[in-house]
Structure 1
Amino acid sequence: MDKLTIADFKAMMNKALENIKAREEEFSKLDAVIGDGDHGTAIVTALSCIVRSAQQGTEFKSMLMDMGMNVMLEVSGSTSTLLGALFLGMSDCAEGTELDAEGVKKMFAGGLANVKQQTSAQVGDKTMMDALIPAVEAIQNCPSNDIKEVLQAGAKAALAGAESTIQLKANFGRARNYGERSVGYMDSGAASWSCMFASFAEIG
């Protein structure tokens, strides 16, 4: 796959929403162990808004900006803030109606850079950044010009990152109050964001 079109990107988002909806209860149960138990609902609500905002999009920059702005305005909470930051950052680095592999890499790099403006969490802190940072780094480092292969590299790294959170102690949010008791459970945010990246790779 040498070009990512607007239609392809909308299909990626629809697939992400479908797959995350199917696991909504699982994500909330993970969150209930060391959080307030609403992450599944929160990410489905946020992604539903994002997917709805994408429907009218005809070119990347304005579509991604609408996706990011609308979720921040319409949905409260940290999940929507971070997802909004991702898509706003992506909008800063995407132009036109189709992207080649380099364009896709640049778009995701812009997304991560903007999320980093919102949170100081790093890999190892047991948050969604444990999935997002490895995913975007793998996308950057993938030598392929095939967009599907680039997205698959991101998906694989995101899933491994989420898996790694099982052994970590939480350093952020309500979960950090649990200290050592947070070890042994996957972070709900890392789990859902890795699901999103895995969904992106199902394209084509």
Structure 2
Amino acid sequence: MKQLTIEAFKGMLNNALTHIKAREDEFSKLDAVIGDGDHGQAIVTAFSVVVKGSEKGTEFKSMLNDMGFGVMLETSGSTSTLLGAFFLGMSDSASGSELDAEGVKKMFAGGLANVQKQTKAQPGDKTMMDALVPAVEAMQACASDDIKEILTAGANAALEGAKKTVDMKANFGRARNYGERSIGYADSGATSWSCMLASFAEAL
């Protein structure tokens, strides 16, 4: 795939929502280990608003902007803030109604850059950044001009990153209070974000 159309991108979003809904209980159970146990519900709610915000979109910049602002205005909590920042960052780096490989890489890099303004978490801290950072880095490093291959490289890196959080001690947010007890379980945010990124690639 050489060009990512608006319709294909909407298909990516819908596929992500389907998979996130299917795994809602799993995400909440992971969150219950070192958190409030509400991450599944939070990400389903937030991502449903994201998808709704995309429905009328006809070009990337304004559609991503609507998605980002929509989720921040309609839902609250860190999940919405980070998803909103991701799509608003994408909006800053995308334009037109079709993106080539470079355009897709730039869009995802913009998403990550804006998330990094919202959180000080780094890979290794046992957060969603353990999925998102390696995913975007892998996309940038992918030499292919085939968009499915670029997103698949990102998806594989995200899934690998989420898997690595099992052995990590939480260093961030309320979860860090659990110290060693956080080891042995994957991070709920890294798991849900890797699900989203894998769903994007699968949809193409």
TM-score bracket, normalised by the shorter chain, equals over 0.9
Match of 2:182 in 1: 182
Match of 1:97 in 2: 97
1:56 aligns with 2:56: yes
**In 1: Cα distance, 2:176 partner to 2:109 partner:** 28
Match of 2:124 in 1: 124
1:173 to partner: Cα distance: 1.3
- Find the residue that maps to 1:36 and give its secondary structure: coil
Match of 1:148 in 2: 148
Match of 2:165 in 1: 165
- Find the residue that maps to 1:202 and give its secondary structure: helix
1:174 to partner: Cα distance: 1.4
- Find the residue that maps to 2:154 and give its secondary structure: helix
Q: Could you give the per-residue CA deviations for residues 142-174 of structure 1, whole angstroms, max 9, x where no partner exists?
A: 000000000000000000000000000001111
Gaps of 5+ in 2: none
Count of residues in correspondence between the two structures:
204
> One-letter code of the match for 2:37?
G
**In 1: Cα distance, 2:164 partner to 2:172 partner:** 16
**In 2: Cα distance, 1:173 partner to 1:44 partner:** 21
- State the Cα RMSD in Å: 0.4
1:203 to partner: Cα distance: 2.3
**In 2: Cα distance, 1:203 partner to 1:29 partner:** 26
Q: Could you give the per-residue CA deviations for residues 1-45 of structure 1, whole angstroms, max 9, x where no partner exists?
A: 000000000000000000000000000000001000000000000
TM-score (norm 2): 0.99
TM-score (norm 1): 0.99
> One-letter code of the match for 2:47?
L
Matches within 5 A, 1:32-51: 32-51=32-51
- Find the residue that maps to 1:120 and give its secondary structure: coil
1:85 to partner: Cα distance: 0.1
Match of 2:13 in 1: 13
Gaps of 5+ in 1: none
